[in-house]
Every structure is written in structure tokens, then in C-alpha cells.
Structure 1
Amino acid sequence: MNAARRTDEGRASGARRITPALLKAWPLPDPSGGTSKEDRGRVMVIGGSRQIPGAVLLTGIAALRAGAGKLQVATVADAAMSLVMSLPEARVIGRPSDRAGAIRDLDGDATHCVRTAHSVVVGPGMDRSAATQRVVRAVIANAQGTIVLDAGALDALALAAFRRRRSAGVAMVLTPHAGEMAALLDTDEDTVMANAETIAREFAQAWNVVLALKGPTTWIAAADGRMWVNTAGSVGLGTSGSGDVLAGVIAGLAARGATPEQAAVWGVSLHARAGARLSRRHGQVGFLAREISGEIPALMHGL
């Protein structure tokens, strides 16, 4: 099923296409009344591994570019010092790794940061493993704001833990691509791509989450049945680290006070439009994920 047909079906069934007019009518929280960085919220990013230490760097920068006031990062101890040097804006917590190079667990310091953060991203640079499940369960048990699950943290057991908790004020945003969605549903990628709209809607409602099912056409579904569809962007966004950036943008917007569905809709749109800008400047493909975040502030303010 091609993108145009999916989009037409989405409009027919109630999904709203993300346009400048839609975003203008749904403005982000106004930062002008704030007096300090605390007023724009704290983001906690948890992820990375010995093999993929840069993922949390991409996510953290994106959260700050989206306007978050404070950033804290937990990653493997082996990568912590280099991250401190590369990301001086953040507080960095190094955690021991398991034999595979993944974060083994969260200590009291990291858990306190999860509790006091307005949004928490977990998953960038992490594989699906028992260690990752342990970390995700700790986040779900302690978070008080919006949780963004990405990459290796997209796990059915984690969702079951979230369903059991159901705490007031705690929300979850999932950002899978078709392959990750297929793994969550124990199906194949072709099935997800052919039925993306229906899958997004039913999954969000069944699990009480906001789901951003990424692809050339991205479907965003809220638990109450509302849906949005994005067809803007660039083929160049299909590059290593691009999803880490999107997760950070969504978390940064949520930390500033955007609702989970608003953060997802705005985040997807900003990410897509940033890719389109980079494609016009550099060519259809070849720009780097690290360059996406630099486009966000101007786009966010309509420049």
C-alpha cells in the first residue's frame, strides 16, 4: 500500500494531517514567562552501550534544542567521561555494564533523577536484553512525568509493567519503526507497513499510550482514539541516529509542558521539516543525524 493511499485512508477515518495550520492552532507552551532553566523542565536520558555510546549524545542534544531547561544522562561508565566532554550541558551518571556492554542497572542517584525529571527517554543505543528490561522496569516504577520508550526499550514486558502501574500524571510515548513494531506484535514488517494506521490506533488504545509509528508516513495515535498523520520529510532521515534525535525532541517538548500527544505530533513534524531543510541544503541523502537538531529551534519558532 503506497503512502498516498494510506494518507487518504487516514483522513477518511479521522486521522488529521499535520500541517502548519494544525500546529499554529495547537501552540507549544510559551517559554517567555519563565525566569530560569527550571521552568522549562528536566529531561533524563538513559541509554547507550560500549558499542553505541553516541546515541544518548544525539538524544540529549535534541532535548535541549527542543527547549528543555536541564539535561541528565545515564550511560555505561566506559562512555561517561567522553560524554562529559562532548556534552558539557549535561549531568552525566556512569553505570556499570554487563558482559555485552549494556547498562546493567540504575543506582539510587540515577533513580532519583528519574523521579525528579519531567520526561525520561530510555532506549537509545540499547539492545533488547534482560539488562535493558531491568532498567526500563525501574524507570516505569519511578518516573513521575512522561516516559519515552525508543529502540531497545520497546518491549512488551515493559508495557505490561506500565499497565500495572497506571499512576496519575505518568504517560508513555512509544516511537517504533515498522520493524520494532513487528517485534512488539510478534508479526512481520510487511504486515505492519500494510496496516500501519489500524495497528497504531488499536495498539495505543489497548495499552493506553501515545504511539508514533515511524516511516515515510508516520502515524501518531493517542489512547483516546485521536490520530494524526505526517507525510512531510525527507528520505535522508532514514539514517543512523535519526530516531535517537526524534526521541530527544519529543522528550524535550514534554519536559516543557506539552502533553504527550502534542509532544509527539510536534516532535514528528519538527524532525520531518528539519530533514527537508537539510535535503534542500545538502542533497536528498548524505546529511547526518547530528545535524538535525540544529534546525529545530528556528523551525519551532516559525523561522
Structure 2
Amino acid sequence: MKIKLVTADQMKEIDRYSIEEIGIPGIVLMERAALEVKKVAEDYLSDLKKSKVIVLVGTGNNGGDGLAVARMLQEAGYNVEVFIVGEKVKVTDDAKVNLNILEKLKIEVKEIVMVEELLDLKTRLDSSDLIIDALLGTGIKGKLRGIYPEVISIVNKSNLPVISIDIPSGVEADTGRVEDIAIQAKETITFALPKLGTILYPGAEYVGKLKIVDIGIPHQVIKQQNIDISLITDKLINDLLPTREKDSHKGTYGRLLLVAGSTGMTGAATLSAQASLKIGAGLVTVAIPKSLNSILENKLTEAMTYPLSETEFGTLAIAALEEIEKLIDNRDVLAIGPGLTARDEIDYIVTSLLKKTDKTLVIDADGLNVINNLEILKEREGSTILTPHPGEMSRLVNKSIKYIKKNSIKIAKEFSQEYGVVLLLKGARTIIATPKGNIYINPTGNSGMATGGSGDVLTGLIAGLLAQKNVDVRAATIIATYLHGLAGDLAVEDLTEYSLLPSNLIDYLPQALKVVTSDK
């Protein structure tokens, strides 16, 4: 199962279609949303008579959700105070309906328009137990205007638990950007589908626990939007993982050739090989400069090694190309790059292989760093997976790293479609793009994985899965990326993010597999 991720405009269109074309009244959707928030809020309130809630609302429909929540909590017996940032006369549509209901029920809604009126809010927060954030919703972009920054600052300094409605106020729904300040939520309740900004960094840091709730938007309305961005989940990995047949042998799970390593970089080759074996590849051969072969034979027990022609510097020589081509003949997949060192000979070898072989290619690290003619990618008959980090991507598309990070989804999608490759753009939220225009965002992983060698493990996982004949390039990349991060998340529970090593990712892979296959 995939969870679709939406932009603000996509969600706005889903809401509009549900209301105007299907005929579900907007006030009904707002009521259902408020009821779900009210249920979560009650988990934070221990004493019905004494618990006090501050509900902060804006003048838009997000504020309308907050006004409805305030009414429901008040009716349940909680002590509720409502503050609206802005003037009541500016409240429109369904939010106005809820404002009118509160006024008829004699529930006061205090305006905050000027800085002087913030003192009352600050005083009230001192004796409160919970804050409901219904200030801004998904419509904001750029810096916050008016008095909102001051309100959010007071909320964050209160150290009270905050439940944000749909998205923490101040976080851009499409990008996760926070231009100046945003609500630091304890929990965020988002409706129908999560917004991109709740998953992408830095927005994800403000979300707290993310809960996705169904408010009755028809599935067919969502489906017809053709949303092309998905969040990878345990369930999706469970569905994609190949089944290990009882009547099988090593050939069933494929033959992988890994071309890697140079003097001082045998660790990269070792990590990739071990990872590919750990994920279930049948036969793995590591082709390496010949002077390093004995080192690899000591490091690797389960993988085979093959010595290749080398330069005086302990890197692959031009003559290695013919040797690699012979090895490829009876292999299913070729992975190339980890630890090779970027030299002219490597450029020639990688370029030649891109042109000559129709086998599936996984290209990483120094294999990426020597690709200069991107047009070759379009001409390949075989499938290609590229796994750049932002620095490598910057070189490939001639854009700054800052630009790459700000526009990661756009860059990945355009590159994948233009050159016909599966692109894995590494980062705090790794992006996977396919030539068909589909995007997958990986939620697993942590800062402990930001160390040399982690990428080599990922390359090995992808290649090891691809060697297994019933796994396609999209599935292999998705599975490997998610399990790679999940193994890291499980490892840091024992080791901390400071002490996590790339080899630990391989050690914890079996635990990660158990998590995603618990009901397989």
C-alpha cells in the first residue's frame, strides 16, 4: 500500500470536487475533521473539569476547523478559550458558520490584532494544559505576515503540548520550508492525505507525531487526481519483497557483478558485497584491481573475487574493460562505482559499459562522478539506476547544491523522465523518481547514517535485490532504500546516532526485514 502525498493545490482541488461536484457539504467535512481532532485532544487532557485548552484560530477554513473543535471540547465539559488572530469580520465561508455557532452558544472568541493583546494570551497559556493550532493551514508561503510570528513564538516558548490541525502553522505545505518560525507541534492531525511539507525537512521536524485521518472524502475523487508522489510504507515493502521459493537454488537469486575498489578504498567494495549477500543475492562476484584481490579475499568469505588489470596507482586500467565485459556475459546485474576513484580510465570504462551492455546497471559514487555525456543514458537498452547525493547531482545537472536541496522532487522527476533512468536522490528524505513520472519519498533513516560507507551499503542492497529475477528496478530501489534507513533506525536504538557505523546497517538488516514482513 502506498500513501499518496499532496500539494496544497491538489488538496484544495480534492476538497472543491468533493463539495461542488460530488455534493458533500464543506461544513460536513469540517465537522468530521474537528471530531477527529477532538478525539486526539482528549488523550492529552486528564481531568474533565480542570483541564484547560487554548484554541488558536486564523480567519480561513483551518481556523474553522479549530472553532468546531473548540465547540466540541466545550460541550464535552472542558475549559476552553478561543483566540482568533485577526478580525472576526474577515472570517468567511464554513469558518464563518462555526464562528456564528460559537457566538450563539456564548463561547467567547477573543481577537488578537495588536501586539498589546498578546499579553492576555501569554497569561492564559500559563494556566493551560493544551494548545490547538488552527492558525494558518496549508495556504502560507514565504515569511509570515502581521502578528503571526509573535503568536507562534509565545506558543513555542510555553512548552505546552500543541496539536496542529492539518499542518503546523508556518510550515509550507508543498516544500516543508520554514522561512522564519513555525509551530512546534507534539502531534499533527492531517486530513485525507498528508501534505508534502509534513514529510519533507525541515517541516517534518515541526510535525511531531503525524496522524492521518479519514473525513469522508470519496476514494474515487482522490484517485482521479492522478497524484504521482507516494510515501513508502512497511506495507508497500511487504507487498514488493520477493518470496523465497522452497524449491530454489543459488541461481534462482541471481548473479551479481560488482566492480569496485581502489587503493585505500577496499572498504567500499566490501560493504557493497556484504550488503548484496545479506539481502539475498545468489552469487556475488567482486571485480577489483588485482593488487587488492588478496585483501578482498581476506575481507569477504561468501563473495567471490576477480582480479582486474590496474594502473600503477591501484585503480582500474583501460584493459580492465574487456575483462569486465567477459564477466558480464553470465551475470544478471552490474553495479559499478563504490571506491573506484574518479580517473580518466574509470571515465572510459563507465562510458563504454553504458554504451555496450544491455544488462541492468547500478551506478554509484565514482561511477557517477565520471559520467560526462548524459545523452548516453537515453540510448541504453538496459535499465539504469543512478544513486547520487546532492553534490553528485549538482555536477550532473550543473545546479548548485542549495538549488538541488530546495527543488529535490522537481530535479529528480525531470532528470528521470528526460534520461530514462531510475534516480535515487539521497538526503534526509531520499527521493526515488521513475521514468514514468512517479515519485517515492523514503521516511526512514537518521543522521547517524551520514558517514562514508552508508551509500556503498545502499548500492549493494539495490544490486542484490535486482539480481533476483522477479524484482524490477523500481521495486528494488524502493525496497533497498526503505530497509537501508529502517536498519539504521533500529540500530540507533542500541548504538545512538553518534556511534552508528555503515557495517551496522548490514548487521541490523535482518531485524528490518522482520519488521516489514511480520504479516507475510
Answer yes or no: same fold by TM over 0.5: yes
More helix by share: 1
SS at 1:125 equivalent? coil
Corresponding residue for residue 57 of structure 2: none
Alignment match, 1:214: 426
Equivalent pairs, count: 299
Distance 1:138 1:35 in 2: 35
Question: Secondary structure of 1:32's match?
Answer: coil
The answer on 1:110 being equivalent to 2:324 is yes
Q: Which residue in 2 is equivalent to 1:270?
A: 483
User: 2:347–2:371: 8 Å Cα contact kept in structure 1?
Assistant: no
Tell me, in whole angstroms, the C-alpha distance in 2 between the residues paired with 1:210 and 1:202.
11
2:490/2:512 contact within 8 Å kept: no
Question: Displacement, 1:237?
Answer: 0.7
Residue 64 of structure 1: aligned partner: 277
Letter in structure 1 aligned against 2:266: P
Distance 2:346 2:297 in 1: 23
Q: How far off its partner does 1:225 sit? A: 0.4
Q: 1:20 is matched with which residue: 220, 229, 234?
A: 234
SS in 2 for 1:211: strand
Q: Counterpart of 2:434 in structure 1: which amino acid?
A: A
Give the corresponding residue for 1:290.
Answer: 503
| Alignment match, 2:19 | none
Higher relative contact order (CA 8 A, sep 6+): 1
User: Do the aligned residues in 1 keep the contact of 2:285 with 2:305 (CA within 8 Å)?
Assistant: yes
CA distance in 2, matches of 1:161, 1:223: 15
Residues 217-226 or 45-54, more deviating = 45-54
Pick the aligned partner of 1:157 from 372, 393, 407.
372
Between 1:287-296 and 1:65-74, the stretch displaced more is 287-296
Q: Select between 33-42 and 142-151 the one with higher mean Cα deviation.
A: 142-151
Structure 2 residue runs of 5 or longer lacking an equivalent are 1-170, 178-193, 200-224
Distance 1:84 1:263, change over 3 A: same
Aligned residue in 2 for 1:124: 338
- 1:47-58 equivalences in 2 (<5 Å): 47-58=260-271
Shift of 1:20: 1.1
- Report the CA distance shift for 1:29/1:198 in structure 2 as closer, same or farther (over 3 A): same
Query: Residue 311 of structure 2 aligns with which residue?
Result: 98
User: Residues of 1 paired with 2:454 and 2:309: CA distance?
Assistant: 26
Tell me the C-alpha RMSD between the 2 structures. Answer: 2.3
Distance 1:123 1:34, change over 3 A: farther
Q: Which moved more, 1:13-22 or 1:226-235?
A: 13-22
Q: CA deviation at 1:203?
A: 0.3
1:97 Cα offset (Å) = 2.5
* 1-structure distance, mates of 2:402, 2:232: 25
Partner amino acid for 2:360? T
**Corresponding letter in the other structure for 1:240:** G
Residue 70 of structure 1, CA deviation = 0.1
Q: After superposing the two structures, state which structure 1 stretch, 228-237 or 203-212, moved more.
A: 228-237
If the length of structure 2 is used for normalisation, what is the TM-score?
0.54
The alignment status of 1:199 with 2:414, answered yes or no, reads no
- How far apart, CA to CA, are the structure 1 residues paired with 2:507 and 2:374? 32
Provide the C-alpha distance between the structure 1 equivalents of 2:348 and 2:510, rounded to a whole number of angstroms.
Answer: 35
Give the match for residue 164 of structure 2.
none
Q: 2:87: which partner in 1?
A: none
Residue 180 of structure 2 is aligned to residue 9 of structure 1: no
User: Residues of 2 paired with 1:34 and 1:145: CA distance?
Assistant: 26
Q: Deviations over 1:132-162 (max 9, x none)?
A: 1122134324544321000011143364333
- Comparing 189-198 with 73-82, greater Cα deviation is found at 73-82
Q: What is the alpha-carbon distance in structure 1 between the residues aligned to residue 323 and residue 308 of structure 2?
A: 10
Which of 222, 225, 239 is matched with 2:437 structurally? 225
- 1:183 counterpart letter in structure 2: R
Question: What is the TM-score normalised by the length of structure 1?
Answer: 0.91
Of the three residues 390, 402, 414, the one matched with 1:178 is 390
- Within the alignment, does 1:242 sit opposite 2:450 as a pair? no
**Change beyond 3 A, Cα 1:61–1:268:** same
| Counterpart Cα distance in 1 of 2:328 and 2:282 | 15
Cα distance change on mapping 1:51 and 1:45 into 2, 3 Å: same
Deviation at 1:121, TM superposition (A): 0.8
More displaced stretch, 254-263 vs 195-204 = 254-263
Gaps of 5+ in 1: none
1:100-152 residue CA offsets vs partner (Å, 9 max, x unmatched): 43211325443222232221110000233211112213432454432100001
Cα distance in structure 2, aligned partners of 1:73 and 1:34: 27
